[in-house]
Amino acid sequence: MTNHSVSVKDLTLNFGAVKVLKNLTLDISEGEFIVLLGSSGCGKSTLLNCIAGLLDISDGEIWIKGKNVTWAEPADRGIGMVFQSYALYPQMSVRGNLSFGLKTAGVPRAEIEKRVARASEVLQIEPLLDRKPSALSGGQRQRVAIGRALVRDVDVFLFDEPLSNLDAKLRADLRVEIKRLHQQLNNTMIYVTHDQVEAMTLADRIAIMKGGHIMQLGTPDEIYSRPQNRYVADFIGSPSMNFIDGQLQDGVFARGDLTIPMAGYNYASPQPPGGPATIGIRPEHVVTGELVGNAPVQLDVTVDIVEPMGSDTLVWTEVAGERFRVRMDGHAQVRHGEPLRIGIVPARASLFDAKSELRL
């Protein structure tokens, strides 16, 4: 067929009367790192389970490596999966955990030993091979779980929120290791998470899901800079984007006294539309300090709440009667009640249709 590593075609999944996934289509290229991102209940883990063959689908097709595996057993799909709770077999040693899948597949003993040795070398778990999972730390357990997928020599790796059970520091460490692993192996990887930092740092492409639909599929930069709709714009970015509802007329966004000429804005359609619209401005794209003078639009606001976070400071103000967050330098000296001059760059803003919430 094509050179798609994994293809999901018109996938529908119903749990009784509830449609969990709706006509979902997704093509993943060879060696690509795809992150399925969304809040809980959006269907991202369900989609992963469908690809793995752990859930029977209601309609559609799943292709892996040019083979239609819609009806195939999980073990026959050429996938390896890593779970959030590690799911290591508690009564087996690490070696037993790694070799279990190979034993059931009837791989010769010498070959098993070779593959276990290689996987444990890649993941640096050689000293742990004879321990039981209960004697391992969370990070070590997750390495073993990755190793279990690794020994099977599969084409596609599936990760189901693998880092969510780890503490923040370990999560950051293992995140880098997963990225290194991907560079080293160049396998196709599908990674489910609700953590946007993981998504942004790991993914070649991110699929943002909501209610069983993919809201946007694109590179991290596309998702961040040109969100296709208001949901994606709101979901990605921390602190999240500021939204102001108003009117777009002849290339000028207006809300009461506030007018923002959208000069330099890259419209989704060739004709600049008009009508009710929402402007979205990321807190980190608001200009403050000495550079305000360079910004095309400048506003005077009053500081309400200041949240110092060390590396930067989040300042809450009000623009056109709406809460408005501004991200400032960590050394910024601002206090409650003080006036502040901010600058807005329309080229970096996003405009959404007020009704359809799609990008304009």
Partner 1 sequence: MSTTATSGPAAAAAPRGPKPRRLSVARIGLYGFLIISALFFLVPLYIMVVTSLKTMPEIRQGHLFGLPETWTVQPWIDAWMHACTGRDCNGLSPGFWNSVKITVPSVFISIVIASINGYALSFWRYRGANLFFGLLVFGAFVPYQVVIYPLIIALREVHLFSTLWGIIIVHTIFGMPILTILYRNYYAAIPSELFKAARIDGAGFWQIFVRIMLPMSVPITIVAIILQVTGIWNDFLFGVIFAGRNNWPMTVQLNNIVNTTTGTRTYNVDMAATIITAAVPLIIYFISGRWFVRGIAAGAVKG
The residues of the shown chain that bind partner 1, judged by CB under 8 A, are 49, 52, 54, 73-76, 79-81, 83-91, 100-101, 104-105, 132-134, 145, 148, 152, 160
Closest separation between CB of residue 133 and partner 1, Å?
4
Give, rounded to a whole angstrom, the gap between the first and last alpha carbons of the chain. 36
Closer by beta carbon to partner 1, 32 or else 160: 160
- Residue pair 201/11 in contact (Cβ under 8 Å)? The answer is no
Closer by beta carbon to partner 1, 170 or else 252: 170
Closer by beta carbon to partner 1, 104 or else 184: 104
Closest separation between CB of residue 85 and partner 1, Å?
5
Closest separation between CB of residue 84 and partner 1, Å?
7
Closer by beta carbon to partner 1, 188 or else 278: 188
Closest separation between CB of residue 101 and partner 1, Å?
3
Closer by beta carbon to partner 1, 51 or else 214: 51
Looking at the chain, which runs of residues are DSSP E strands? 4-15, 18-29, 33-37, 59-64, 67-68, 79-82, 156-160, 188-193, 205-210, 213-218, 242-249, 252-255, 258-261, 275-281, 297-302, 305-308, 312-319, 322-329, 339-344, 350-353
Closest separation between CB of residue 65 and partner 1, Å?
16
- Residue pair 316/325 in contact (Cβ under 8 Å)? The answer is yes
Report the distance separating Cα 261 and Cα 189, nearest Å. 43
Closer by beta carbon to partner 1, 90 or else 289: 90
Closer by beta carbon to partner 1, 104 or else 271: 104
Burial of 240 (0-12, 13-18, 19+ CB in 10 A): middle
Helix (H) or strand (E) holding 222: helix 220-225
Structure tokens, 89: 């077999």
Q: Cα angle at 141 between 136 and 147, to 5 degrees?
A: 130
Closest separation between CB of residue 87 and partner 1, Å?
4
Structure tokens, 39: 């809040």
Closest separation between CB of residue 225 and partner 1, Å?
36
